[in-house]
Amino acid sequence: MRRRRMGALHVVGEPRVVSFQQQPAAVVAKNGHGPVVEEIHGLIRVYKDGHVERLPAIPTVPCTWGGTGADAPGGVVARDVVVDPATGVWARLYAPMTTTTSAGGGTGGSRPPVVVYFHGGGFCVGSAAWSCYHEFLAQLSARAGCAVMSVDYRLAPEHRLPAAFDDGLAAVRWLRHQASRAAACDDLSWWRARCGFDRVFLMGDSAGASIAFHVAARLGQGHLGALSPLTVRGAVLIQPFFGGEARTVSEKSMAQPPRSALTLATSDCYWRLALPAGASSRDHPWCNPLSRAAPRLETVPLPPVLVCVSETDILRDRNLELCRAMRKAGKCVEQAMYGGVGHAFQVLHNCHLSQPRTQEMLAHIKAFVSAR
């Protein structure tokens, strides 16, 4: 199974483009890849010949780390599985050991709802095996009583968009296959027995929230055909990573601390690396779903949506604008604002308010899921 060692979001710095003339000839010759053409400090370097180097500043951990795993005595059990052998996409599965505390509502009986989760990282870094995501999703599974499928999708710039969206669809296709063989006896029986497949939620943070949005739209448009026996009940977008040529007020004026997970320059660099080769504008529909080039939201089939917004995130105003636009288009939208915290606070724990705000977020997610 594929394992990637990535850089840490909490040490991200400003992007820096380093020209050939700025780099000593000996350094260029030694690495064999030519000069660095894009770099986000502490996270990723892209060389002139296309070679990509990701820096191991956040550890990747096994599914048994922190007391989870197939032999866990209680709480949450976790396991890694291959989703698509052709692309190398895999997922980490979580489920509460007991189903009596699962989120209520719906028709799934005592079986927990299923969350299909996409991690953040600007489409370019991150992993389902990062310790910060393992911790957060184990918490989500235990606190909200959900089974979770955390998808390790392909990354840009080696795999530019729409690769991540395609991998999201592949994950739902894999889940549909598991639902169709719920009575089978195999090494995933333990997980399927804890899944209410008629209550599926798409979820993600940052770039992962963008993936959840686009996958939800594609599913609504019938890209996988009939989903039965799956039923998608909603989507949770945590600090969704979108952009645009016109800057919002928070993008222009929201001061970011040195340890911020996302600055405007970093955001622009991620989009340069993630959008299709030749895409010349951040108003591309995959970056800006409200641009003139994007389908009108009235025509985009979406399930009920919860949008989680951080008060000091540069994406705050863009997230709120998306909420207003979806409501205007007749969509069912809930939003939650988390005061005094910035982008990705729930996984980075990079300020004194991170822990209490994370608990607030988990409570909001549980309430949203329970109502459906």
Catalytic (active site) residue 370: no
Rounded to an integer, what distance in angstroms lies between the CA atom of residue 348 and that of residue 351?
9
Whether pLDDT at 331 is above 70: yes
What architecture (CATH level 2) is domain 62-98+110-371?
3-Layer(aba) Sandwich (3.40)
Read off the pLDDT of residues 179-235 as tens digits, 9 standing for 90 and up: 999 889 999 999 999 999 999 999 999 999 999 999 999 999 999 999 999 999 999
pLDDT reported for residue 145? 94
Read off the pLDDT of residues 21-65 as tens digits, 9 standing for 90 and up: 455 555 555 678 999 999 999 999 999 999 999 998 789 999 988
The mean predicted confidence, pLDDT, of the chain is: 90
pLDDT reported for residue 71? 52
Rounded to an integer, what distance in angstroms lies between the CA atom of residue 1 and that of residue 92?
11
Identify the residue with better confidence: 98 or 81.
Answer: 81
Catalytic (active site) residue 310: no
pLDDT reported for residue 16? 59
> 119, 343, 349, 364: which one is catalytic?
343
As a whole number of Å, the end-to-end CA separation of the chain is 35
> 150, 206, 250, 260: which one is catalytic?
206
> 150, 313, 354, 364: which one is catalytic?
313
Rounded to an integer, what distance in angstroms lies between the CA atom of residue 350 and that of residue 338?
14
Q: Where are the domains of the chain?
A: 62-98+110-371
Query: How distant, in Å, are the alpha carbons of 30, 85, 107, 207, 328 from that of 24?
Result: 10, 41, 64, 35, 55
pLDDT reported for residue 9? 35
Catalytic (active site) residue 317: no
66 pLDDT tier (thresholds 50, 70, 90): confident
- Backbone angles phi and psi of 78, in degrees to 5: -140, 155
